[in-house]
């Protein structure tokens, strides 16, 4: 007979998939130009007008796909970073992914003339990867062997330095400032398949790694010594987790820029519903986070018509009160 936690997990994933399907349809029909459901069906069947094909096939379908990619990346990365740092308030940016990507994009704009999200994507990926590797090497340099605390401090320190560099580059270059302003707000505007298609393979590898190390993370939750006694290689698991976080968060940041609170908030929602098994938390976060990103993107399109609000700003409005609730809840649990 199916156990209660397993049944809850299956129902949760099924519910998230239903919500995603509904939000995908809504994402295709709403915006500055509303598309009737009949026109949506005609266009997808190849019978639409030139205007409807442009709106749907060139704009909204790629944008909706980008939201799904970004959500999956942030959800998986958030669940992993909270697992390896044992910090329920940890965010994927703690390893410097956002700072590295932003610095690389700023360099590409200022010195190489990059002018579109399709040109930013590989620079953002490279920056996220290089900085995360640097953080891991710095955290591994001392006797503590890349434990959660040293990784956190290394990520915060290096990220602060690069954030200052990025600010300096953009403030001295008006064109770079304007482009970075849009990218750093976290936006899905003008995200075509030239942006999302190249990141699908790294995203898939990151998801596979994250799911594969779930059992080892369950053992590590009991302590490194206990995990080692159960045959888990703690350094190897931590390294694989950092690689997976880089691929997942790097994908999301490369596509949309830094989007806050999704990776922090969704693992908590999943944990409350499916329990503390990291295998279920990781898988559930990968499936559930796209719901938040898609919903936030839809809201952002509607609240400021005919303009729109970047998805990163909407998630911040949603996430800030949730963060306060999480802090209050943790204080009650710890008795502080």
Phi-psi category of 124—alpha, beta or left, where left has phi over 0 and alpha has psi -120 to 50? alpha
**CA-based end-to-end distance of the chain:** 41
Q: Is the peptide bond before 306 cis (omega within 30 degrees of 0)?
A: yes
CA dist., res. 274 & res. 276, Å (int): 7
pLDDT on residue 332: 55
CA dist., res. 258 & res. 213, Å (int): 26
pLDDT on residue 142: 63
pLDDT on residue 5: 76
pTM of the model: 0.89
CA dist., res. 108 & res. 61, Å (int): 27
DSSP codes, 263-297: HHHHHHHHHHHH-S-HHHHHHHHHHHHHHHHHHHH
Could you tell me the sign of the dihedral formed by the alpha carbons of 274, 232, 247, 144, in that order?
positive
For the domain spanning 4-334, the CATH number is 1.10.3470.10
Q: Are 320 and 261 in contact (CB under 8 A)?
A: yes
> Which of 217, 287, 203 has the alpha carbon at shortest distance from 245?
203
CA dist., res. 129 & res. 155, Å (int): 13
CA dist., res. 192 & res. 117, Å (int): 9
> What CA–CA distances, in Å, run from 56 to 29, 50, 85, 301, 329?
8, 10, 42, 15, 43
The CB density around residue 10, as the number of other CB atoms within 10 Å, is 13
Q: Measured over all CA atoms, what is the biggest interatomic distance in the chain, rounded to whole angstroms?
A: 65
Give me the residues of the chain with pLDDT under 50, please. 1-2, 333-336
pLDDT tens profile 154-209: 888 888 888 888 888 888 888 778 778 877 888 898 888 988 998 999 999 999 99
pLDDT on residue 335: 44
> Which of 149, 144, 134, 145 has the alpha carbon at shortest distance from 90?
149
pLDDT on residue 211: 97
pLDDT on residue 244: 93
pLDDT tens profile 63-73: 999 999 999 99
pLDDT on residue 26: 94
Angle value at C-alpha 329, between 323 and 335, nearest 5 degrees: 135
Query: Could you tell me what percentage of the chain is helix, strand and coil, using 3-state DSSP and rounding each to the nearest 5?
Result: 80, 0, 20
């Amino acid at each position: 007979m199916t156990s209660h936690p397993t049944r809850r997990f299956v129902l949760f994933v099924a519910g998230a998939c239903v919500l995603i399907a509904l939000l995908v349809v809504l994402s295709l029909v709403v915006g500055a130009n509303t598309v009737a459901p009949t026109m949506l069906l005609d266009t997808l069947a190849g019978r639409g007008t030139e205007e409807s094909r442009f709106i749907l096939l060139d704009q909204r379908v790629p944008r909706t796909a980008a939201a799904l990619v970004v959500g999956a990346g942030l959800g998986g990365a958030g669940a992993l970073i909270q697992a390896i740092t044992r910090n329920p308030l940890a965010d994927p940016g703690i390893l410097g992914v956002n700072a590295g990507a932003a610095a690389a994009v700023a360099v590409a704009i200022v010195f190489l003339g990059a002018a579109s999200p399709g040109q930013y994507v590989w620079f953002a990926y490279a920056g996220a990867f290089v900085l995360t590797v640097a953080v891991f090497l710095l955290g591994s340099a001392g006797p503590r062997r890349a434990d959660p605390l040293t990784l956190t401090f290394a990520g915060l320190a290096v990220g602060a330095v690069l954030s200052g560099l990025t600010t300096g580059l953009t403030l001295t270059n008006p064109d770079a400032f304007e482009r970075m302003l849009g990218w750093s707000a976290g936006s899905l505007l003008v995200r075509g398949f030239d942006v999302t298609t190249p990141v699908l393979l790294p995203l898939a590898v990151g998801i596979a790694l994250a799911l594969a190390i779930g059992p080892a993370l369950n053992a590590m939750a009991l302590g490194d010594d206990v995990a080692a006694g159960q045959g888990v290689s703690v350094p190897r698991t931590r390294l694989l987790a950092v690689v997976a976080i880089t691929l997942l968060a790097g994908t999301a940041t490369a596509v949309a820029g830094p989007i806050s609170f999704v990776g922090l908030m969704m693992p908590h929602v999943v944990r409350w519903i499916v329990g503390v098994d990291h295998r279920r938390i990781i898988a559930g976060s990968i499936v559930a986070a796209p719901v938040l990103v898609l919903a936030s993107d839809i809201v952002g399109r509607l609240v400021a018509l005919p303009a729109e609000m970047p998805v990163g700003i909407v998630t911040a409005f949603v996430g800030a009160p949730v963060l306060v609730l999480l802090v209050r809840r943790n204080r009650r649990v710890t008795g502080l």
